[in-house]
Amino acid sequence: MATSNPDVPRNTIHLELGARSYDIHIGRGLLKEVGVELTRLQCAGKVGVVTDRNLAAYYLKPVTRVLKAAGYQVVPIVLPPGERTKTLRSIGTVMDALVNARFERSSTLLALGGGVIGDITGFAAAIYQRGIPFVQVPTSLVAQVDSSVGGKTGVDHPKGKNLIGAFNQPRAVLIDPATLRTLPDREWIAGLAEVIKYGVIEDEAFFEYLEQHIAPILDLSDVPVTHIVKRSCEIKAQVVSEDEREADRRRILNFGHTIGHALESLGGYRGLIHGEAVAVGMVYEADLARHLGYCDQNVVTRVRALIAAAGLPVRLPPNVPFHALWDAMQQDKKVSAGTVYCVVPERIGSVRIVPLEKAQTRAWYETVRVGDTGSRQRIPRKKQPR
Ligand SMILES: NC(=O)c1ccc[n+]([C@@H]2O[C@H](COP(=O)([O-])OP(=O)(O)OC[C@H]3O[C@@H](n4cnc5c(N)ncnc54)[C@H](O)[C@@H]3O)[C@@H](O)[C@H]2O)c1
Ligand SMILES: [Zn+2]
């Protein structure tokens, strides 16, 4: 039986989904344990390591080394970095590599990367020979706190994000927070938007922790960074275990995303990356909730202040006409039968899902004075050298 290194302290979160249950392990240095973990999971034979060029430069060699040391035959599959890689064409590239290397039903895929790589790998694992096991090794903050947990996998279509995919749970998620040290600053801060989201939707004490520790978090201090990754995974695992297929409760994870996705899809605002758009979305969805009487101003003030303190944007881009925003909100997958649903806070730590009417949303929007909705944006402190 493989044994893990006692020098690598770890937290383990169990995601209960019956036969599809799995563990999420979090520990600094866990990357060195990937081979041992695959052995423990009884993965056999070949391992296809799917990654992107940025990640390959840092981590492909060491990960290949530990996998080989554990007796695996490693097939690296290196894709270009970025959202533009999340296509059926990349799925084709992965399929070609697996066929050429004669992967079998018992072979394993390992996703070494951010959300793009995790989503592609999970979908490829769902369809190669009708399904082979896969393990998530997320390296970006978005992937560590969000995309690697919960089993949503897939790729984009030219007409819309994430339109093609499958629910497919990994065998395990192995998170090494030390990989965040090589993540570009902008990607790291964007991931904090999803972390803040967990506090708003589910846990006021966690939100307070973020308010009090935002400076050491921005400095990438080990203890608070590991804590926020762990607490975020716990909340996501809990919500997913209650509603794996997003029939109802899982939709609370979309707080900030109704307006956030709309901003992302509005052609002129490609400048915002996902977490930044969600940050702006959370500020305005909280303000909309206040306008509709679901929460008081204090909720809006605290949400906006924490987002600003994290160095995230808090203002709508200028000149977004209401009809453009509303149309873009309707493109979102959370629209069912023509109704736009939105997650609104009632207080910090508790949200509900409500339908939005166009007229009341327009009335609120007319009260929003673009450019006058936030405190001055804080410039994030420079992180310590990595
Ligand atoms: N499946 C889900 O439930 C879910 C949830 C949230 C987001 N997503 C998806 O995730 C994607 C966004 O994920 P992302 O923000 O991780 O994007 P990403 O995978 O494109 O990674 C962002 C950038 O950071 C680089 N990078 C990642 N980790 C690094 C590291 N440790 N060191 C250096 N560079 C690193 C990548 O190469 C890339 O250039 C989107 O496609 C989104 O749809 C999926
Ligand atoms: Zn998101």
CATH number reported for the structural domain that contains residue 335 in this entry? 1.20.1090.10
User: How much is the pLDDT for 337?
Assistant: 63
| Vertex 192: Cα angle to 187 and 194 (nearest 5) | 105
* Same domain? 106 vs 212: no
Distance CA 157, CA 164 (A): 7
Mutation test residue for ligand 1: of 50, 54, 78, the one with most atoms within 8 Å of CB: 54
- Whether 165 is in a domain gets the answer yes
Residue tagged 């995601």 (tokens): 15
Q: Quote helix, strand, coil % in the chain, to nearest 5.
A: 50, 20, 30
Query: How far, in Å, from the CA of 167 to the mean position of ligand 1?
Result: 18
Query: How far, in Å, from the CA of 248 to the mean position of ligand 1?
Result: 26
* Same domain? 295 vs 173: no
- Whether 5 is in a domain gets the answer no
- Whether 373 is in a domain gets the answer no
Tally the domains of the chain: 2
* Same domain? 173 vs 206: no
How does strand 73-79 pair with strand 134-138? unpaired
* Same domain? 232 vs 174: no
Q: Which ligand is nearest to the CA of 253?
A: 2
Contact 15, 241 (CB under 8 A): yes
* Same domain? 171 vs 65: yes
* Same domain? 25 vs 142: yes
- Whether 379 is in a domain gets the answer no
Give me 334's structure tokens: 């959370």
For the Cβ of 232 lying below 6 angstroms from any atom of ligand 1, the answer is: no
Contact 38, 108 (CB under 8 A): yes
For the Cβ of 257 lying below 6 angstroms from any atom of ligand 1, the answer is: no
Task: Indicate which CATH number applies to the domain containing 78.
Answer: 3.40.50.1970
* Same domain? 120 vs 38: yes
User: How much is the pLDDT for 373?
Assistant: 45
* Same domain? 193 vs 169: no
Minimal-distance CA residue to ligand 1 atom 6: 147
The residue range of the domain holding 30 is: 11-179
Query: How far, in Å, from the CA of 260 to the mean position of ligand 2?
Result: 8
The pLDDT tens digits along the chain (386 residues) read: 445 666 668 999 999 999 999 999 999 999 999 999 999 999 998 999 999 999 999 999 999 999 999 999 999 999 999 999 999 999 999 999 999 999 999 999 999 999 999 999 999 999 999 999 999 999 999 999 999 999 999 999 887 888 899 999 999 999 999 999 999 999 999 999 999 999 999 999 999 999 999 999 999 999 999 999 999 999 999 999 999 999 889 999 999 999 999 998 886 546 789 999 999 999 999 999 999 999 999 999 999 999 999 999 999 988 889 999 999 888 765 566 668 999 999 999 999 999 999 999 999 999 986 554 444 344 344 444 44
Domain end among 179, 208, 228: 179
* Same domain? 39 vs 131: yes
